[in-house]
Structure 1
Amino acid sequence: MFSKVFASLSVLLAISVQVNAHAAIAPALGVDGTPVRADVQRPSTASPCGTVNVASTLDTSTPVQAAADGTFTATATDFNAGADGSRSVTAKVDPTAQGKTFSTAVTVSQNGDAAPTTVGSDQIVAALPAGTTCSGGTAGNLCLVQFTTTAGFGNCVVVAQGAATGAAAANTTAAATNGTTTAGTTATNGTTTATNGTTDATTAANGTTAATTTTTKHHHHKAAAAQAKVNKRFSFFQWRDIKHNRDGEETLAQTCRFHSSSHATGTFTKHRGDVTVVLSEQDEDVDVPSYGRHGLLAGSIILDSSLKIEDIVAVVLKVEGRIKLNISGANAASKTIKTVDEQYELWSCQTPNSSISSTCPRLIPFSTILPPTFKDGNHEYPLPPSYEVNFTGIPGLYAKCTYTIRAIVKTHGSFWDHKQTVSTPFIYRPRKRPPQPTVASEFFSSIKVSPEEWFQTTSVLQARPSTKLEPINVSIFLPAVRSFGLRDTIPYHIQLTGPISSLKKFYSCVQCGHSAHEMALDWEGEIRCRDDIRVGHFDAGKIAMSDFLVFSVVPKPTMGAFNSLRMIVPILLVTDTWVEH
């Protein structure tokens, strides 16, 4: 008999936290064109250039040209007013451009505004230290400069030494001779290689794609200040379709992007007491708001007229993500892991910033982007989807991944301060799709013509010793991609080969000619997940879920001629079906 597709859960325990960000310096490493919110990084000692892959983006990034005295200019752009959007920077240089050692300070002679009152840009003038020799990149003339704002945000910028024309010529040469690394180059420009595995699909909420985009990176952003307008630009990710390869380049494989034809335009409203939270870009009449990868949490907090404005002390927005684990039995334990823990002060009567009104507005807009990852020690993992599972028994396991938005309004009281909180749980469901479609043709018509389209795993069904029968070889064939949407129908083919005497004993309906000694029995069919299965494979480090297809042979007790057999085939279940666009 066949078992249904099922998921297994493995759990360890730990804690991790993630942060957001709000200013970028152009031209940014790994960014094609002007940086947007999604390109903001938070440099650190462990990751000096944030999450950007330096090795794969150095030669393809736009450099700034250093003058003979080492001076160069860059542009700092903030996406939030106030100190969080600081355009004032410090800088360090890595002459090798490997992105590992930024030990020498860069002199900044013209800096930006540390607390801008509006969203905008400042020109930054800096100079490489005297005697600096840039040795990085294919041309051997590139440095990396790490810019960090006073708010702790920023990114790396490529600086080129030598004549501008020489640098351009060197870059052209690099592109022309880069044929041996084409897969890596094209992968950063919208294509995937055959080893890319599962390709992340576009989320309906914000039109983003993770694995196949040009500039999609793991960046995080702070919420807008109270007086700032909600950012209505949804072009957080820049796209560059590869229509023609450069000289010397060849596209090995390419997965077309998924383009959603619809965009959610509804709102979700939650009211409690004197406070209302409105979340935009939701489907109409939803019971629980939902967001995808890089989801934009945008909306507003509305204060009722019954609430005295003069009593308000502060308005705070919190975004929280938690993994709750509970193990029962002899070694019972429980743990809560923080995956998102962000707090934004949207308005405060004590904020030392003239751009913030001294009177709290009754409508306070906000916007922030969900971080796609969280850190566990030195490792970074994708943010897990909303999920709940309960395995009863001894030992037992309960695990739940949850996400919540909280709007908090603090007010003065006669004797002590009060706090009103509106909590809104939301669903996080990062979308993925298979990297290629499943086999469309029938097994026998395709296995000889295109054997690479099928994956085969084999095992042996052993006979019980008392029967003196020879064993039967069992083969299972699945589409080679082994990655399927949750609503996909998965084709399979099972083949049993062995002596006729063994096959007849296993399956009494076997008929064959007298001259035959061995033969094969074939079954083919389809299988799919139950409709209530909403989450497929994910790996969040301390909690992971894997998917399998299981084939079992279970004989009747004391009656069967063969032992039991269980074959487990790992597969990958993702949210979306592969669709040609």
Structure 2
Amino acid sequence: MSSTQESTLPEYSDPSPPPFYSVQVSEGEELLESTGAPPSARRAGSYTQTWDCGLEVILSEQNQDIVNGASTPVYNQQGLITGKILFRQNAESVLQVFLKGKFLLLVPMSKIEGILKRRVSGRGASASKAVKILGECYELWAKPRGQAATTSESMNPPHELEFSSVLPATFQDDEGNCDIPLPPSHEISLTGIPGLYSQCTYAIKVLVVTRGSLWNKTKTYTIPFKYLPRNRPAVPLVTNDGIRPGCPLFHATIKSAPELWFETNSVLQPKPASGLSSIEAQFFIPSGRIFELGDEIPFHIQLTGTAFSLQALYARLRLEHVEDSSDSGSRSSSPTFTIHSTTSSSGGTSSSSNSRGKNKSKDNSDNNFISLSVALHRQVRVEVKEQVVWKSYIIGEGRIHPIPPPFDSEFYDGTFVPSPADADDPERIENLDGAGEIRCRSDVDIGHFEMKGKVQVKDFLVLQFGTNSSIGNKSPSEISSRFFPLKIAVPVWLVTDSWSEHPMML
């Protein structure tokens, strides 16, 4: 049975266009929440390397166009290694083509290796070891054998050989018991006794086998590249944005948002014969403790103790890498902390300007002063054949500057004077405050990483009280400091990207 009526589709009107959408906040809109991780952007640059024999290798997925080693190609964790090999001339004698590299790359018909070199030295003993992270060989092309290939074109390699793969995130240790993240490209050499050395290099190698008159020849073409895993902080760095000009960052945020700061306490101990009491040292840094290599990291220092002890410390205190906070921007010839009393009934402040002036010439001539510094220390640990060596070095030095006095303070000649009620009380409790910023040196391009049982790199933000390095040949026993040295080390993590960077390609 067939139907004589034809069904027709209902009529549709043109739908209204979808509303305009933008990732940027428009007028009248408000951003409620953001993960801070924008989508990855495809890299449009390429790396090109040519050789006189007519071989050319092009690597895609680069940030910029690079030709013949002008700079080194860079790959991040699980980055896409893709490209092609071109034969411009003399391809008739090619028998086989392999892709080989110093790291792990799972490309069909290719070979990739990874090698980590380590060396430690000590008194009377040294050890070294090279670890192959991975070594697999894959053939990209081979000349057909037998009678299957009859045309000349089938006997020659194609004009282009393409390859593509994603970098793995880990490799297995020597025993194959656990997975270890691929280490970044690096070379660390710390000489001395003991000494250590660690190097991890990466390269892509093209091996071309050609027919010779007597035997086949293999030639290797190498392209070094840098492996740089990327990471970013989970929270933004606290800044002066939105803070009243002239107000210290710490004072503006510690009461309203104390969670922004991480505090570490220790005690500066006086020597027994000094007759002084101990001083509490508080060191504040941003609570996340994860910073981008280029971040300017704020910190705050507060010393709490009796007026007598603080004045004794202050008379010999010298701040390392101090910058004046005045508008002129000139370096202060005699920088000071702000000193203010915490127990004065009149809200006044306390110091001993006269004793400071009397002691200044003596301190300068005797060089018996105490230095206060903030620095970024990098600790490197290398283990080879059950020998372990670790050493530290400085990768950044902080700038310490004085904090402006409270608006209701009475001061004379740029120094604070005590109120009459507190002037004769040496046991009153006072605070001595300072602040500053620190950033990593520009030549440091890798952050924290760890290879269990092989290499470990850690970073610390260190506040240190100690005798000044300019004392010369005097031994520590000859230096008449009234306090023992003190070091406060706070572990931090340095990463490649900032929280607010956009876009971030991971």
Give matches, 1:415-564, under 5 Å.
415-441=214-240, 442-508=249-315, 511=351, 512-513=418-419, 514-515=421-422, 517-541=428-452, 542-555=454-467, 557=476, 558-564=479-485
Whether the aligned pair in 1 keeps the contact of 2:42 and 2:61 (CA below 8 Å) is no
Confirm whether residue 263 of structure 1 aligns to residue 43 of structure 2.
Answer: yes
Give matches, 1:276-291, under 5 Å.
276-282=56-62, 283-285=64-66, 286-291=70-75
Letter in 1 for 2:197: Y
| Offset, 1:499 | 0.8
| Offset, 1:314 | 1.1
Whole-angstrom CA distance in 1 between matches of 2:43 and 2:467: 53
Give matches, 1:3-42, under 5 Å.
none
After superposition, the C-alpha distances for 1:467-524 in whole angstroms (9 at most, x for unaligned) are: 0211100010011000000000000001100111110000037514452611111111
Whole-angstrom CA distance in 1 between matches of 2:35 and 2:290: 14
After superposition, the C-alpha distances for 1:188-209 in whole angstroms (9 at most, x for unaligned) are: xxxxxxxxxxxxxxxxxxxxxx
Confirm whether residue 304 of structure 1 aligns to residue 88 of structure 2.
Answer: yes
- Give the unaligned 5+ runs of structure 1: 1-240, 242-252
Change (3 A) 1:351 1:489: farther
Aligned match of 1:20 = none
Equivalent position SS for 1:452: helix
| Offset, 1:429 | 0.7
Letter in 2 for 1:545: V
- Give the unaligned 5+ runs of structure 2: 1-22, 24-32, 103-113, 241-248, 316-335, 340-350, 352-417, 469-475
TM-score (structure 2 length as normaliser): 0.61
| Offset, 1:454 | 0.7
Whole-angstrom CA distance in 2 between matches of 1:351 and 1:389: 48
Whole-angstrom CA distance in 2 between matches of 1:351 and 1:578: 57
Letter in 1 for 2:79: G
Whether the aligned pair in 2 keeps the contact of 1:327 and 1:396 (CA below 8 Å) is yes
Change (3 A) 1:539 1:351: farther
Aligned match of 1:575 = 496
Confirm whether residue 414 of structure 1 aligns to residue 194 of structure 2.
Answer: no
| Offset, 1:324 | 0.8
Would you say how many aligned residue pairs link Structure 1 and Structure 2?
327
Whole-angstrom CA distance in 2 between matches of 1:564 and 1:363: 66
Give matches, 1:387-406, under 5 Å.
387-406=186-205
Confirm whether residue 331 of structure 1 aligns to residue 125 of structure 2.
Answer: yes
Aligned match of 2:138 = 344
Whole-angstrom CA distance in 2 between matches of 1:497 and 1:554: 18
| Offset, 1:531 | 0.7
Whether the aligned pair in 1 keeps the contact of 2:74 and 2:226 (CA below 8 Å) is yes
Identity value in percent: 41
Give matches, 1:181-192, under 5 Å.
none
Aligned match of 1:316 = 98
Change (3 A) 1:270 1:297: farther
Letter in 2 for 1:546: K
| Offset, 1:555 | 2.9
| Offset, 1:271 | 1.9
RMSD over aligned CA atoms reads 2.5
Equivalent position SS for 1:466: helix
Higher-Rg structure is 2
After superposition, the C-alpha distances for 1:265-294 in whole angstroms (9 at most, x for unaligned) are: 233224253422221232123421111111
| Offset, 1:344 | 2.1
Change (3 A) 1:401 1:565: same
Whole-angstrom CA distance in 2 between matches of 1:338 and 1:492: 42
Whether the aligned pair in 2 keeps the contact of 1:324 and 1:337 (CA below 8 Å) is yes
Letter in 2 for 1:288: T
